[in-house]
Amino acid sequence: MHHCSEAEWLALWERGSRWHPIDRALLLCAVVRDDVEPEALADLPIGAVHEALLRLRRELSGGTLHAFAPCPACAERVELTIEIDDLLARGGTGAAGIWEGFGLRMRSPTSRDLAAVAGKRDLERAALELLRRCCDAAFDDERLVLHRDAIESGVESLDPLACIETAFACAACDRRSSIALDIGALLWSEVATAAHAVFAEIHALASAYGWTESEILALGRERRAAYLRQVAS
Ligand SMILES: [Zn+2]
């Protein structure tokens, strides 16, 4: 894992801020998977990208995730506490496995596959197109339509972290449900929040002392905090 400086995090946030969420996830993945060529990251199984993002989140701000999920029965906002180590223990990522069934050989979807179907309005067609990309069938191959659920479960079994389903129970109505955790969006929002906190500090110190952004970043966190206390007093 590459350890980014604050200046590198700000540059990363700036680069990704106008990008599609799929590309942002790959930008963050590149920090962890410096063993993979940047252009090859899009060809990793989605679960391998998610695994990298979970490890990055654990490194940056600890192994416990807090998220909210709406209860599908009563709309209560349920707070979820999720341990990253528990998610990583689901494992099975990184290997390029093949699932075979109904005469088809299926591999796991990659970010490149997701990007190819991302803009499609017809979600049914997009889901079929995604499956078709992961095997050698023609678009109108009936097997993909007839056995879609079984094929999708088979493909999911290849890559357990491709969809990070988390079960929860609603405290208000007791309904048990599950939600898919979007680790890319969650981590990106944390990176954006951290970047904006640093920008606020730079703004305060630049206004008070006339220092440049790079001078302020070069101070390091401790000294910056000490000067900020002076400015606030
Ligand atoms: Zn409920």
pLDDT, one tens digit per residue, over 168-226 is 999 999 999 999 999 999 999 999 999 999 999 999 999 999 999 999 999 989 999 99
- The whole-number pLDDT of residue 206 equals 97
Contact 168, 160 (CB under 8 A): no
Query: What's the full length of the chain, in residues?
Result: 233
Residue 77 alpha carbon to ligand 1 centre in Å: 8
Residue 102 clears pLDDT 80, i.e. is over it: yes
Residue 80 alpha carbon to ligand 1 centre in Å: 13
Residue 179 alpha carbon to ligand 1 centre in Å: 13
Q: For residue 189, what are its two tokens?
A: 């929002």
Residue 170 alpha carbon to ligand 1 centre in Å: 5
- The three-point CA angle 43-144-94 to 5° equals 25
Q: At what angle do helices 21-32 and 183-209 cross, to 10 degrees?
A: 80
Q: For residue 221, what are its two tokens?
A: 């966190």
Residue 167 alpha carbon to ligand 1 centre in Å: 13
Residue 78 alpha carbon to ligand 1 centre in Å: 8
Residue 97 pLDDT grade (very low, low, confident, very high; cuts 50, 70, 90) = confident
Q: For residue 213, what are its two tokens?
A: 């952004």
Residue 182 alpha carbon to ligand 1 centre in Å: 21
